[in-house]
Structure 1
Amino acid sequence: MSTVEDDFRRCTGRISDARKNLNQIWNNKDKQKIDSNIEQLERRTVVEQKFNSAVENKYLNQTLHEEKINQTLREEKMKQLVHKDVNNSGVESAVEEDESAMLINRGESADGNDEQKTQMKQTLISCCTKTQMEQMLNQLLYSVSC
């Protein structure tokens, strides 16, 4: 009988070892799944951060372009007024003319209302690259100075 009991104990031991091995395999699979999910989340977070920074950079660049365009438009307007007024009383009256000439009725300017200007700027910004805008502005500056 001792052989039957020994065989039974060995089988029972093997069964418990097999259960332990199965538990370890399942635990490892769970750990692998968790690690995989963590890696995916980390990659997703990195991609989201890159996307957000790209959007912020694009917004900042667009704002800078708008500021440059506004500055160039102001400079062009002043140059035109100075050229008109050079024979009269100089720069001071050109500034006065600029303020009075720009205002018409209901807050509209001589070049159109603010909404039209904004639309023109947005069209210009969306249609042109940075270098194209700089080239156009340089051409404008050159044509006015000549």
Structure 2
Amino acid sequence: MRAVVQRVSEASVAVNGEYIAKINNGLLVLVGIKADDTEKDMDYIMHKMLGLRIFEDHEGKMNLSVKDIQGEVLVVPNFTVYGNAIKGMRPSFIASGSVKEAEFKYHAFINKLSGQEVPFATGKFQADMKVSLVNDGPVTILLDSGKVF
């Protein structure tokens, strides 16, 4: 499982010109799911994204998590985070899970998030979404449950 975590002052998702999700101060998380991802992968990403100390404390140091600041999380499914452009110019998405399996795992991830006592919103699986954000910093962190980076 992979996640692109961005610290935002606001973020939203629109589908067909209609806003379906919006958050203020917190995290925008683009989530990609591999075919062989397990609950252990979900737990790793969940723990890391909610625990990342990327918000400033009273001394201006990145020392607080989204939970510490009582921020919000916007989770957006995004199979392209597994895009591989090593060969040629057209990315391959072979590493992404099948649509059916990825959707099931995405919803399982969201269910886990609902038990974490952090306000959250979600994008819509397999929709043409328009994601808007104000990246605060900017701060962008890449997470991979396979610990590739």
Q: TM-score range by the shorter chain?
A: under 0.3
| Larger CA Rg, structure 1 vs 2 | 1
Greater share of helix residues, 1 or 2?
Answer: 1
